[in-house]
Amino acid sequence: MKSPLRPADPPSLGGYRLLARLGEGGMGSVFLGRRDDGPLVAIKMIKPEYAHDEEFRGRFRSEVKRAWQVPPFCTAAVLDADPEHRTPYLVVEYVDGPSLDEVVDREGPLADSRLHGVAVGVATALTAIHGAGVIHRDLKPQNVLFALGTPKVIDFGIARPLEVTSRHTRPDQMVGTVAYMAPERFDGDDREITPAADVFAWGAVIAYAGTGRTPFRADSPVATAAKILTQPPDLTGLTGPLAELVALALSKEPEDRPTAPELLNLLLAQNTGSGGIGGPLREAAEAARLATRPERPRRRRRWAVAAAVTAVATALTAAVGLYSRPTEKVVVKPPETLTTMPVPGAIRGAWVVDPLDRPGQWKATTDAYGGVCSFKNGLAMSTPSSAMVCPGPAASFAGDQMISADVAVDDTRSCAEIQFRNAGPGSYWLDLCPRTIRIRHEGAVRATTLGSADQPRFGPGQRRHVVLSLRDEVATVTVDGDVELEQKLTDPSLAAGRVAFGVGPADEAKDQDVRAGAVIRRAEIRPIEAAPAAPPPLTFTDVRTGSTKSIVKVRGYNPKARSVIVEPVLFLTGDEYCQTFNLASTSDNPCEQAWVTEDSRMAVTLPTAATPELTSTFDDPERCAADPVTVGTCRITPGQLAERLGTEGLVELTTRNGTVTTMAEVYTP
């Protein structure tokens, strides 16, 4: 709710003209503002007492940096910030709509599809927030706003003082933030707060939305906290699967709660009948679900019910693939294949490079119908049946992206296939056949050809360089640099998904008893990013060519296949990091850390020498680690090193002409 500026309020802040007050909280005031003729924005100005607290300012600085990375899936987008200003401030998208508590106060508890939509929207926002490494920490109905009927979560992830009281006086509101705090929040400094606390808050928010009261309602903040710690929630008025999910989210122990992505999957699995969602909310939910990196498995005690519901999610969301709209042909010139390494901070999404000359990010497999994926002069695929797929990385690729590879088919009866934006019941396919190039959409019930070009570009055994670029929902295919096909994509639910390669028979051979075959080499999947405005201070080491020595993360080491999957990183002292990226030194930022890594998000499969030199710190860093960087010096077997590194280990990697010759484990205490 807007109110006039007060006499002591500044007329402007950081170039933004302040127009009205939107609210005030424990951390500062929120204003409606605008810069020049730009859109209206919400500006949070930190209170002076916190602006002079260096520890708070340091937290604000580091958390603003992470908040920038939160994609705007049911969240208010972060637009600007200045942690160094005399009164630090944050600028976010202005959501012109009522808050959830205002809607419930005015209209009463929500029900059916409206309640389910709020549950999906808030879970979508948490999936996006947690995927960027941010914890909201103050999710409550006042922080859920409605814009054109779609819920958006605001005020996430920014350092704030702990508030356990409220000025509200009504019995169901007087406890304020306490009513949505997880039990572990009351343990003081002895327990780490994790994203599971936000999932608990989600359960309390949805219970409030569906019943008009908080699930641990009591007459005082202290009594409410005691109920949260010791009593089951009161969910009277909630029914069906949503009530079960809310109860699960309100589990006392963090490890018993689903993660935000798991929660979103379960909600989408319930999305049938009158509880269906569509339009922008469906698109945002699918994009957030598929664009989030999988979390490491966590030990659970009571998560079996969630696993059972997840098992039916694919069947319940099968209708996703049925949406279509008229095709619009748009010509877009695709980018060329990558020739340089990324720069720090430039990549927002997965990036894969694999020569496909050995098992790496693609594996050798066989299927039940006699299809084979093997490695001979590339990823060799063959099948006697209608089609087969050789699965690739588990990562989901979203937004504008490029897929490139060298492709050859065995004969005139075979087609190579690239599956992209594979999101379970729906996906797209690029068919590369001797006489036809075709893009098709495959849903749960039917497959539809979106566009094709009849060009004899794939003769038997002829290797062609294929680039598939996806920009602004237009797929553009080039073969050896020539644009062959442009096609508007038609399914808004497929905003992201996995990529795989496959093979199948050409149209004229589908009824014949033939074995189709194709070979794919030099695969690369990467985001299409705008060029940086200024030359970067540092770039990652290009481990694919020449002779190099650098620190990398090992994503997988297969000694038998003589291959290793690595992610180049920057490995700097805290001082070097802050000098490079012009960060001021505080007690709560990387400047004070011994070592800092900056990830490239680029997974590269490299060959290893027949007998690479392998060393480790073992469990005795004093004896087996060299200074000044603690790199292992004690010899270790390939199998032992693979087990120690797993998918997150750091090594000092030495290459010669793109082949790994040494790997030394890096010890980071």
What one-character-per-residue DSSP string does 195-255 give?
THHHHHHHHHHHHHHHHSS-TT--SSHHHHHHHHHHS----TT--HHHHHHHHHHT-SSGG
**Inside any domain, residue 295:** yes
* Backbone dihedral angles phi then psi of residue 27, each to the nearest 5 degrees: -95, -30
Looking at the fold, whether 448 and 505 belong to one and the same domain comes out as: yes
Cα R_g (the chain), whole angstroms: 27
Question: Could you tell me the sign of the dihedral formed by the alpha carbons of 272, 276, 278, 280, in that order?
Answer: negative
**Inside any domain, residue 377:** yes
Written as six digits, the tokens of 374 are 């093997």
E strand or H helix that includes residue 104: helix 100-107
Looking at the fold, whether 496 and 567 belong to one and the same domain comes out as: no
Looking at the fold, whether 649 and 559 belong to one and the same domain comes out as: yes
Measured CA to CA, the distance from residue 103 to residue 115 in angstroms comes to: 12
Q: What pLDDT, on the 0 to 100 scale, is given for residue 667?
A: 80
What one-character-per-residue DSSP string does 511-567 give?
TS---EEEEEEEEEEEE--PPPSS--S-----TTSSEEEEEEEEEEEETTTTEEEEE
Looking at the fold, whether 188 and 253 belong to one and the same domain comes out as: yes
Written as six digits, the tokens of 415 are 């087609």
**Inside any domain, residue 533:** no
Looking at the fold, whether 400 and 310 belong to one and the same domain comes out as: no
Q: What pLDDT, on the 0 to 100 scale, is given for residue 121?
A: 94
DSSP 75: B
Task: Enter the pTM of the model.
Answer: 0.53
Measured CA to CA, the distance from residue 437 to residue 539 in angstroms comes to: 37
Measured CA to CA, the distance from residue 34 to residue 28 in angstroms comes to: 19
- Angle, helices 260-269 vs 240-249, to 10°: value is 170
Measured CA to CA, the distance from residue 386 to residue 364 in angstroms comes to: 20
* Backbone dihedral angles phi then psi of residue 104, each to the nearest 5 degrees: -65, -40
DSSP 334: P
CATH number for the domain harbouring residue 124:
1.10.510.10
Binding residues for ATP: 44
Q: What pLDDT, on the 0 to 100 scale, is given for residue 493?
A: 72
Contact yes or no for 328/353 (Cβ under 8 A): no
Please write down the long-range contacts of 67-70, taking CB distance under 8 Å and 24 or more positions apart: 67/132, 67/134, 67/156, 67/157, 67/158, 69/132, 69/133, 69/134, 69/348, 70/128, 70/129, 70/131, 70/132, 70/134, 70/156, 70/157
Specify the amino acid at residue 569.
V
User: Which residue is it, tokens 């994509």?
Assistant: 489
CATH number for the domain harbouring residue 73:
3.30.200.20
Contact yes or no for 366/389 (Cβ under 8 A): no
**Inside any domain, residue 332:** no
**Domain-ending residue, one of 46, 77, 93:** 93
**Inside any domain, residue 541:** no
**Inside any domain, residue 325:** no
Q: Can you name the residues that pair with 99 across neighbouring β-strands?
A: 145
Looking at the fold, whether 578 and 601 belong to one and the same domain comes out as: yes
Q: Which domain holds residue 655?
A: 547-665
Looking at the fold, whether 72 and 188 belong to one and the same domain comes out as: no
Looking at the fold, whether 231 and 159 belong to one and the same domain comes out as: yes
Contact yes or no for 67/156 (Cβ under 8 A): yes
Beta strand residue intervals within 344-446, DSSP E: 351-354, 365-366, 372-375, 379-383, 388-390, 397-398, 401-409, 414-422, 427-432, 437-442
Looking at the fold, whether 240 and 118 belong to one and the same domain comes out as: yes
Using alpha carbons only, give the angle 78, 82, 84 rounded to the nearest 5 degrees: 150
Return the closest-CA partner of residue 423 out of 320, 294, 351: 320
**Inside any domain, residue 509:** yes
**Domain-ending residue, one of 461, 494, 527:** 527
Q: Which residues of the chain are under the pLDDT cut of 50?
A: 159-176, 272-275, 293-339, 347
Q: Active site includes 138?
A: yes
Beta-sheet pairing, 78-82 with 28-34: unpaired
**Domain-ending residue, one of 293, 316, 339:** 316
Beta-sheet pairing, 602-616 with 365-366: unpaired
Beta-sheet pairing, 89-93 with 474-479: unpaired
Return the closest-CA partner of residue 125 out of 86, 160, 168, 95: 95
If one counts the domains in the chain, the total is 4
Looking at the fold, whether 143 and 278 belong to one and the same domain comes out as: yes
DSSP 342: -
Q: What pLDDT, on the 0 to 100 scale, is given for residue 32?
A: 95
User: Which residue is it, tokens 């002076």?
Assistant: 48
Return the closest-CA partner of residue 267 out of 132, 74, 49: 74
* C-alpha pair distances (Å), 412 with each of 49, 224, 456, 459, 518: 75, 73, 10, 7, 11
Measured CA to CA, the distance from residue 241 to residue 258 in angstroms comes to: 14
Active-site position among 9, 37, 112, 138: 138
**Inside any domain, residue 346:** no
User: Which residue is it, tokens 């109110």?
Assistant: 3
Contact yes or no for 405/520 (Cβ under 8 A): yes
Q: What pLDDT, on the 0 to 100 scale, is given for residue 65?
A: 76
Contact yes or no for 152/95 (Cβ under 8 A): yes
CATH number for the domain harbouring residue 400:
2.60.120.560
Looking at the fold, whether 310 and 422 belong to one and the same domain comes out as: no
Looking at the fold, whether 61 and 128 belong to one and the same domain comes out as: no
